Structure 1
Amino acid sequence: MKVLFQLRSDYRKNPAGDTVQLLGTAQALQKLGVQIFISADPHIELSEYDLVHIFNATRASDASMYIENAKRQKKPVVLSPIYWNMQKYLEKQDANSMALRQWEEHQPWRSQLLKDCDLLLPNGQLEMDMIREDFQINTPYQVIPNGFPEEYLTVDETLFREKCPGLPDQFVLSIARISSRKNQVLLARYCYELGLTLVLAGPINDPSYFEQVQSYSNVIYLGTLQGRLLASAYASAKIHALPSWFETPGLSSLEAGACGAVVLSTDQGSTTEYFKDMAVYMNPFQEASLKTALETSLDFSPEPLTNHIRHNFTWSKVGELTLAAYETVLNTPSV
């Protein structure tokens, strides 16, 4: 089977969760014998591919061009929407912002592409429920969760402690791109008030926002971490905090939980579907809830969630579910 993956055109220049999901899914499928090709060309010739898999409906302009190209060439299309309604978050930031107007203007565009694909692969049932609420569509779907790299399980804290000596025994880690959507300024403030060291890593999406984060003396920024060093950082941390405005469910939360950190997560998005009562939650619309969550996390056991994630959310399982979804589409007679 030959499958073409398509994602927003800047997915390598500005990597985010959708980039990780695409690459993790690709590697898992390749281990199952599927040939995966990646292209951001909206006019690519598709004759050699059995199916097109598009990631991220939020960036509607790119996704719409990809699906139009696939339909024109009569190729089946599956879509991983990675969708959550951003309106409340954007209104909180600035009710008159251009970003909010653009979000609202692009909703009909998103609606059309969600209707036009052959199968939706949301990361959770809660994500699919929101899609149906926002767009009233009846496109078939299959929930395909996100995953974590199984090789992380062979890594302990040694490497990170060697690379970053002097950190306290207990610190808060947050792996995410630096942007207001991830809420690091609030995290830095409450960590500072509680006397906790906050270690951040990830690309800087918003330099002015990054300056606000760095104004707190308890913050240590390490750039972007990858591979074994990233896994070792997770294993070293007492708490991994992702107090975002929403997550579906936050790949770094999954990875950190698998490596043994207490997961402190936003309650907005599909997080509770993944982590149930085994994580500590905060509500980004109630700022003080983050301080309470940090205090709770200090005495919270990570073990139940670690076992739950390791059993249910490996990339290999994601690959098996995705391949089964492909086979369903390819074996369904076209109308």
Structure 2
Amino acid sequence: MKALFYNYPWAMDVPGGGERQMLAYAHHLSRFGVQADLYNMWNPSLDDYQIFHSFSVMPGTIEMCDFAKKRGLKLVVNPNLWITRETKDNYPYAGIWNILELADRVIVNSNMEGDALSDVFGIAREKFHCVYNGAEADFLVPADTNVFRKAHGIDGPFVLNVANVEPRKNQLEFIRILREERPDLQFVIAGAVRDEDYARACIEAGGDGLKIVGMLPYASEMLRSAMTACEFFAMPSLLETPSIAAIEAAALGARVLLTQVGSTIEYFGDAVTWVDPWSRESMRAGIAAVAVSTPEKSIWAARHRLLWPLVMPDVVRCYRSLLT
């Protein structure tokens, strides 16, 4: 079985969770009998594949998806999208519907996401196939905490956020509250800047209490060192589908503070500290609670259910259902 992976042209300029998911699928599927290759516009070779798998519903991807289907490939789409009836006007609804309707199967990151997309777009629930996000086995091995601290000049306690700097990740509001509630904790963001104006606002609000260290190499000793060293890992986003970085931090044993908006609760249940990202009171309470929490339940969830090799068979089942 051979699958060709596609994403919008500038996706890897500032990669996020969807791109990490795509690369994880490409890396792990080979051990399950699937050859997964990244699309190369200079050597497309569509006739060599049975599956065309797009990891985005960004405007502009539908033309390539439609072209692949007309060439006889089965179309699989990972939308990586949390949308509700209340928020659908914030998105290019018609364009997304066209892609979801064109797809032979839609892989969602949770059953909650499948239910929401089916409801909002009026598409049969049977078209949606759930495959959970996961972490690499590298994140089962803690790293020396001094590796990250020495490289970035961090001496005291810090809260870690592994995400690109943009409004959806809600770093600005979080740093304001953290400065009020726990001025002893530095807020460290490991990610690229997607919104320059938003990053400047974060820097102004955070002052010496904020450090943006840029993207850390994936699954590297540096990233694992940061996750091992932090007082807690925070992902207070306005929505998540959910956060791969949160799974990785949990696998390493970090305390985790996580947004309740999106499908995150399907992954962690009562194993992490939940916050409402729209409520300052909720985030204040979450900061106080996570500092004294114990991470045993989240460690178990990540290590026993949420590793990429454990979820890859669900991708294979999706592909096979289209080819039999």
Q: Secondary structure at the match of 1:265?
A: strand
Name the aligned partner's letter for residue 61 of structure 1.
G
Match of 1:160 in 2: 148
Counterpart contact for 2:152–2:213, Cα < 8 Å: no
After TM superposition, give the deviation of residue 167 of structure 1 in Å. Answer: 2.5
Q: Within 5 Å, give how 1:1-335 maps onto structure 2.
A: 1-39=1-39, 41=41, 44-57=44-57, 59-62=58-61, 64-85=62-83, 100=90, 103=91, 106-138=92-124, 139-158=126-145, 159-168=147-156, 170-193=157-180, 194-195=182-183, 196-215=185-204, 216=206, 217-226=208-217, 227-331=220-324
1:95-139 per-residue CA deviation (whole Å, 9 max, x = no partner) reads xxxxx4xx2xx2122112212211111000110111011111015
Normalising by structure 2, what TM-score? 0.92
Calculate percent identity across the aligned residue pairs: 28
Counterpart contact for 2:108–2:130, Cα < 8 Å: yes
RMSD of the TM alignment (CA)? 2.0
> 2: CA distance between counterparts of 1:188 and 1:83?
26
Query: Structure 1 residues 132, 166: CA separation in 2 closer, same or farther (over 3 Å shift)?
Result: closer
Which piece of structure 1 moves more, 41-50 or 197-206?
A: 41-50
Deviating runs (4+, > 3 A) in structure 1? 40-45, 86-91
> 1: CA distance between counterparts of 2:101 and 2:152?
49
> 1: CA distance between counterparts of 2:88 and 2:55?
22
1:223-279 per-residue CA deviation (whole Å, 9 max, x = no partner) reads 111222111211111211111110011111111111111111111110000011111
After TM superposition, give the deviation of residue 40 of structure 1 in Å. Answer: 6.4
1:189-234 per-residue CA deviation (whole Å, 9 max, x = no partner) reads 1111121211111000011111111122211121111222111211
Which piece of structure 1 moves more, 43-52 or 303-312?
A: 43-52
> 2: CA distance between counterparts of 1:183 and 1:167?
25
Unaligned runs of 5+ in 1: 92-99
Counterpart contact for 2:29–2:312, Cα < 8 Å: yes
> 1: CA distance between counterparts of 2:143 and 2:83?
37
Match of 1:96 in 2: none
Name the aligned partner's letter for residue 30 of structure 2.
Q
1:139-168 per-residue CA deviation (whole Å, 9 max, x = no partner) reads 522210001010121232333234345432
Name the aligned partner's letter for residue 322 of structure 1.
V
> 1: CA distance between counterparts of 2:102 and 2:4?
17
Query: Structure 1 residues 208, 87: CA separation in 2 closer, same or farther (over 3 Å shift)?
Result: farther
Which piece of structure 1 moves more, 78-87 or 14-23?
A: 78-87
Counterpart contact for 1:78–1:118, Cα < 8 Å: yes
> 2: CA distance between counterparts of 1:40 and 1:209?
34
Unaligned runs of 5+ in 2: none
> 2: CA distance between counterparts of 1:157 and 1:180?
32
Counterpart contact for 1:43–1:69, Cα < 8 Å: no
